[in-house]
């Protein structure tokens, strides 16, 4: 018998018999259908599920043939205007026809017939049911479906009902659920279900496995991470304790190995180590204690290098590194000879004074090498802060010991050679007086107990061989000068420079450039040219540089077999000569006289010229003159006035004339009194209208009585006079002993006249 019921189309939902679904309907048509079903069809309606969920307006032909007759269990209008409806599936029905419902055209009316369940074997149904139940239990166990399903199916005997109930619970696809709707045979549906449950169980099992794998992987890695972190922490803690323990051990071992005799110093270091032990790793003081311990424990408290004692060997080594400089070499040999006899002999504090480039620094290094001592250089030129020498107190931020302690640590021995360079250029100002600190360091009576501000404890410096250098003897601080053994190194003569070039500079330059004398040979004439025309110095530093430059230029140009460096080659490589040999006075005129002076470049000839003009008896002096020289001009003038008769100057009226004295060589400061005799001669030469030969030079201080007094730098002055072409030189008799230092070949070529009284010059030049 055909029945009719209004149709409710469901798009995404499936309703199976025995299943209940709750719907919230907002569209008017659906609500009308519900109300129609309620009002005219005893709350019953036909539910059709659309096969194609995407279809907006399905054709009637697209609708399924099997529908579910459902009962509206309740409906409720919600405050939001929606209609909540609970439907319960009753049975499957075959769709026989679909029509528009009377006047309400958009409502479909379905003609249907209840589907008859075909006959089936009870046993088979039982077996299928049991299998399904068993599988459901398994499925519940593995959390595939909620436990509540067991209650739902508990007393269900009918296989058809069972399959519908279970299928509703399973997460089946829409299409599969449609198949469940369309299949009326419970056995077939039961088998559907077994297949689906099987699949679901398998999927579930695989999911579980994957999840476990993922979980265990995650846990493993998390566990590993946590363990690793913990291990790191433990290791760090253990490491800290361990490394601190090791550090303290090594400090203590080091202290024991040093054998510091002074118990107070020993105790102090122990206290510092103890402080370190108690201190936390984050304490800011920690690094300062470590720093201090690193300094104090690395000082050579008891470590001496073994000095060379073989005098012949030492002499040989010194001669090999430096030409001449015999007085310094002798001093060293004397000291070692004395030390060989008595270990406690005091070392000299040598101070090498001389112009730059004469070998002061390199000789000091060579002394250290010859004696097998360590070497350290401290430059004090421009130094005004004594803390550089004796350290900053530990309370200062970033404090450290002074240079002497630093040098000892670097050398690692208690008896090195320490070179203190340019002691004449220290500065005494508000920051301190480095000279008096240097005295503490050098003075034998004090330096046994030298205390560096940072180290805070006495350290014996008396085993150090100090060598000082200075350019000007006069500028060495007086309190220091007193304690020094000053050895003056003077300018080298042309001949000495030639020898140094050939024996010392060139061999080491050949070595430096991987050349042999066969490959490149400097002719004497070229060396002479380079010395006279391309360098202008007392020492040989510039000479060495120029030789190196010639060598490199040739290396670029030539292939090396028998290259001869001739004067022509020098000219082509170095260009026009930079310095011509100077004879400053081109032509002798009255009032023009050569004096001698010493500058940073060594000894040189400084011409003095004087002229007279009408005036009132004034004297004017020009040419970078310092006060001492001003005074010696006054002395010379007074001496001349006083001896007018003796010098036969009666005709000259000094009161109506102004005198202008000019010292040539701009740029050279003239500060000594040694120009006294030259000034006197210049004035006399002018008044007496007598020319002084241009190859005559003189040096000496003059007194009001005409006595000629000793001057400094005689060797340099004589060498300067010789280098600049002088033939006759007047010097004070008091400087006689200094002539011993002047190379013999120069003494042979110069006429040197030693005088005590100015009259001797007068007689020689004016009579």
Residue from 192, 197, 160, 153 nearest 176 by CA: 192
Q: Which is nearer to ligand ADP, 254 or 541 (CB)?
A: 541
Q: Which is nearer to ligand ADP, 35 or 356 (CB)?
A: 356
CA torsion 396-398-404-405 (nearest 10°) is 100
Taking CB under 6 A as the rule, does residue 509 contact ligand ADP? no
Residue from the set 500, 569, 593, 663 that interacts with ligand ADP by CB under 6 A: 500
Q: 3-class SS at 442?
A: helix
Taking CB under 6 A as the rule, does residue 468 contact ligand ADP? no
d(CA 669, CA 716): 16
Quote the least distance from Cβ 447 to ligand ADP, whole Å: 24
Quote the least distance from Cβ 385 to ligand ADP, whole Å: 24
Q: Which is nearer to ligand ADP, 110 or 465 (CB)?
A: 465
d(CA 757, CA 751): 18
Q: Which is nearer to ligand ADP, 322 or 715 (CB)?
A: 322
Quote the least distance from Cβ 458 to ligand ADP, whole Å: 32
Taking CB under 6 A as the rule, does residue 361 contact ligand ADP? yes
Quote the least distance from Cβ 735 to ligand ADP, whole Å: 23
Q: Which is nearer to ligand ADP, 392 or 604 (CB)?
A: 604
d(CA 636, CA 615): 20
d(CA 127, CA 275): 88
Backbone CA torsion sign across 19, 24, 30, 34: positive
Per the CB < 8 A criterion, the answer to whether 86 and 67 are in contact is no
Residue from the set 46, 85, 98, 325 that interacts with ligand ADP by CB under 6 A: 325
Residue from 373, 382, 378 nearest 390 by CA: 378
Taking CB under 6 A as the rule, does residue 362 contact ligand ADP? yes
Per the CB < 8 A criterion, the answer to whether 701 and 632 are in contact is yes
d(CA 266, CA 636): 67
Taking CB under 6 A as the rule, does residue 743 contact ligand ADP? no
Question: Which position's Cβ is nearest ligand ADP?
Answer: 359
Quote the least distance from Cβ 253 to ligand ADP, whole Å: 42
Q: Which is nearer to ligand ADP, 163 or 535 (CB)?
A: 535
Q: Which is nearer to ligand ADP, 328 or 718 (CB)?
A: 328
Residue from the set 43, 185, 191, 356 that interacts with ligand ADP by CB under 6 A: 356
Contact pattern for ligand ADP over residues 513 through 552, marking x by CB under 6 A = --------------------------xxx--x--------
Quote the least distance from Cβ 355 to ligand ADP, whole Å: 7
Q: Which is nearer to ligand ADP, 170 or 543 (CB)?
A: 543
Q: Which stretch binds ligand ADP (CB under 6 A): 319-327, 329-337, 440-448, 718-726?
A: 319-327
Q: Which is nearer to ligand ADP, 300 or 359 (CB)?
A: 359
Q: Which stretch binds ligand ADP (CB under 6 A): 356-364, 383-391, 548-556, 729-737?
A: 356-364
d(CA 205, CA 210): 9
CA angle 676/680/686 to nearest 5° reads 145
Q: What is the DSSP letter of 473?
A: G
In 203-325, beta strands by DSSP E: none
Residue from the set 92, 189, 322, 329 that interacts with ligand ADP by CB under 6 A: 322
Residue from the set 180, 301, 323, 375 that interacts with ligand ADP by CB under 6 A: 323
Taking CB under 6 A as the rule, does residue 462 contact ligand ADP? no
Residue from 687, 748, 741, 700 nearest 722 by CA: 748
Residue from the set 6, 357, 416, 603 that interacts with ligand ADP by CB under 6 A: 357
Quote the least distance from Cβ 322 to ligand ADP, whole Å: 4
Helix (H) or strand (E) holding 112: strand 104-114
Task: Read off the tokens for 725.
Answer: 């072409």
Taking CB under 6 A as the rule, does residue 358 contact ligand ADP? yes
Q: Which is nearer to ligand ADP, 112 or 504 (CB)?
A: 504
Q: Which of 674, 682, 685, 715 is an active site residue?
A: 674
CA torsion 646-647-648-651 (nearest 10°) is -130
Quote the least distance from Cβ 553 to ligand ADP, whole Å: 20
Quote the least distance from Cβ 470 to ligand ADP, whole Å: 10
Quote the least distance from Cβ 321 to ligand ADP, whole Å: 7
d(CA 187, CA 183): 10
Concatenated DSSP letters of 586-628: SS--TTEEEEEEEETTEEEEEEEEEEEEESSS-EEEESSB-HH
How many residues touch ligand ADP under the rule CB under 6 A: the total is: 17
Query: CA dist 439 to 388, 423, 484, Å?
Result: 14, 11, 10
As beta bridge partners, residue 487 has 352
Other C-beta atoms lying within 10 Å of the C-beta of residue 233: 10
Taking CB under 6 A as the rule, does residue 359 contact ligand ADP? yes
Strand order of the β-sheet with 602-614 is 619-622, 657-663, 602-614, 592-599, 696-698, 728-732, 751-755
Which residues inside 562-591 make contact with ligand ADP, applying CB under 6 A? none
Taking CB under 6 A as the rule, does residue 497 contact ligand ADP? no
Block residue for tokens 């073989």:
310
Residue from 604, 732, 619 nearest 664 by CA: 604
Q: Which of 177, 373, 414, 717 is an active site residue?
A: 717
Q: Which is nearer to ligand ADP, 21 or 500 (CB)?
A: 500
Q: Which stretch binds ligand ADP (CB under 6 A): 358-366, 369-377, 528-536, 554-562?
A: 358-366
Q: Which stretch binds ligand ADP (CB under 6 A): 351-359, 545-553, 620-628, 682-690?
A: 351-359
Angle between helices 311-321 and 360-370 (to 10 degrees): 150
d(CA 364, CA 21): 109
Quote the least distance from Cβ 743 to ligand ADP, whole Å: 13
Quote the least distance from Cβ 356 to ligand ADP, whole Å: 4
Q: What is the DSSP letter of 580?
A: P
Active site residue 717: yes
Q: Which stretch binds ligand ADP (CB under 6 A): 231-239, 265-273, 360-368, 457-465?
A: 360-368
As beta bridge partners, residue 17 has 89
Q: Which is nearer to ligand ADP, 255 or 418 (CB)?
A: 418
Residue from the set 177, 317, 329, 360 that interacts with ligand ADP by CB under 6 A: 360
Query: CA dist 261 to 264, 266, 267, 302, Å?
Result: 9, 8, 11, 9
Task: Give residue 660's region: left, alpha or beta (phi > 0; psi -120 to 50).
Answer: beta
Q: What is the CA radius of gyration of the chain?
A: 58
Site residues (CB under 6 A) for ligand ADP? 322-325, 356-362, 500, 504, 539-541, 544
Residues labelled catalytic: 674, 717
């Amino acid at each position: 018998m055909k029945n009719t019921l209004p149709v409710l189309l469901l798009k995404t939902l499936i309703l199976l018999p025995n299943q209940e679904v709750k719907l919230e309907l907002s569209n008017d048509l659906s609500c009308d259908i519900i109300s129609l079903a309620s009002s005219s069809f005893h709350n019953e309606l036909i539910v059709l599920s659309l096969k194609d969920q995407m279809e907006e307006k399905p054709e009637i032909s697209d609708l399924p043939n099997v529908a579910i007759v459902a009962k509206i269990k309740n409906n409720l209008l919600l405050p939001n205007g929606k209609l909540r409806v609970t439907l319960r599936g009753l049975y499957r029905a075959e769709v026989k026809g679909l029509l528009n419902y009377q006047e309400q055209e958009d409502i479909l009316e379905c003609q249907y017939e209840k589907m008859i369940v075909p006959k089936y074997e009870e046993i088979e149904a039982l077996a299928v049911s049991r299998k399904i139940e068993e599988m459901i239990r398994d499925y519940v166990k593995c959390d595939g479906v909620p436990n509540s399903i067991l209650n739902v199916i508990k007393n269900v005997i009918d296989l058809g009902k069972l399959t519908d109930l279970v299928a509703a619970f399973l997460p089946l696809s829409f299409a599969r659920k449609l198949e469940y709707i369309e299949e009326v045979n419970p056995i077939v549906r039961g088998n559907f279900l077994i297949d689906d449950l099987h699949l679901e169980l398998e999927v579930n099992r695989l999911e579980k496995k994957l999840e476990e794998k993922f979980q265990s992987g995650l846990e493993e890695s998390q566990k590993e991470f946590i363990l690793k972190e913990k291990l790191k922490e433990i290791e760090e803690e253990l490491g800290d304790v361990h490394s601190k323990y090791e550090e303290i051990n090594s400090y203590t071992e080091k202290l024991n190995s040093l054998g510091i005799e002074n118990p107070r110093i020993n105790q102090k270091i122990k206290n510092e180590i103890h402080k370190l032990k108690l201190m936390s790793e984050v304490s800011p003081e920690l690094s300062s204690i470590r720093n201090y311990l690193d300094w104090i424990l690395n000082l050579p408290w008891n470590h001496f290098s073994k000095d060379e004692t073989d005098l012949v060997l030492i002499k040989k080594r010194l001669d090999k590194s430096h030409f001449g400089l015999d007085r310094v070499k002798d001093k060293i040999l004397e000291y070692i000879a004395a030390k060989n006899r008595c270990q406690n002999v005091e070392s000299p504090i040598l101070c090498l004074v001389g112009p730059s480039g004469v070998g002061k620094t390199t000789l000091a290094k060579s002394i250290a090498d010859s004696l097998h001592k360590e070497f350290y250089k401290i430059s004090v030129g421009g130094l005004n802060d004594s803390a550089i020498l004796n350290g900053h107190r530990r309370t200062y931020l970033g404090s450290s010991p002074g240079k002497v302690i630093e040098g000892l640590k670097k050398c690692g021995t208690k008896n090195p050679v320490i070179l203190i360079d340019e002691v004449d250029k220290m500065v005494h100002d508000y920051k301190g007086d480095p000279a008096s600190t240097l005295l503490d360091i050098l003075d034998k009576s004090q330096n046994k107990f030298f205390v560096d501000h940072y180290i805070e404890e006495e350290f014996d410096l008396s085993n150090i061989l100090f060598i000082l250098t200075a350019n000007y003897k006069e500028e060495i601080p007086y309190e220091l000068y007193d304690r020094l053994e000053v050895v003056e190194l003077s300018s080298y003569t042309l001949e000495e420079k030639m020898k140094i070039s050939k024996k010392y500079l060139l061999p080491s330059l050949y070595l430096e450039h991987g050349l042999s004398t066969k490959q490149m040979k400097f002719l004497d004439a070229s060396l002479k040219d380079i010395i006279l025309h391309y360098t202008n110095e007392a020492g040989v530093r510039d000479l060495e540089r120029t030789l190196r430059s010639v060598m490199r230029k040739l290396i670029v140009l030539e292939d090396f077999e028998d290259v001869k460096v001739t004067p022509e080659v020098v000219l082509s490589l170095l260009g026009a000569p930079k310095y011509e040999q100077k004879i400053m006075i081109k032509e002798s005129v009255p009032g023009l006289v050569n004096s001698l002076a010493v500058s940073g470049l060594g000894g040189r000839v400084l011409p003095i010229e004087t002229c007279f003009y009408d005036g009132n008896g004034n004297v004017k002096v020009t040419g970078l003159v310092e006060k001492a020289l001003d005074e010696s001009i006054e002395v010379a003038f007074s001496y001349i006035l006083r001896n007018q008769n003796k010098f036969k100057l009666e005709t000259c009226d000094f009161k109506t004339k102004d005198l202008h004295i000019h010292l040539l060589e701009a740029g050279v400061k003239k500060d000594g009194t040694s120009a006294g005799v030259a000034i006197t001669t210049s004035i006399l030469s002018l008044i007496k209208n007598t020319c002084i030969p241009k190859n005559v030079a003189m040096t000496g201080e003059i007194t009001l009585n005409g006595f000629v007094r000793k001057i400094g730098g005689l060797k340099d002055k004589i060498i300067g006079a010789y280098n600049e072409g002088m033939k006759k030189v007047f010097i004070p008799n008091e400087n006689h002993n200094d002539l011993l230092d002047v190379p013999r070949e120069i003494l042979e070529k110069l006429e040197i006249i030693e005088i005590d009284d100015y009259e001797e010059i007068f007689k020689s030049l004016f009579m």
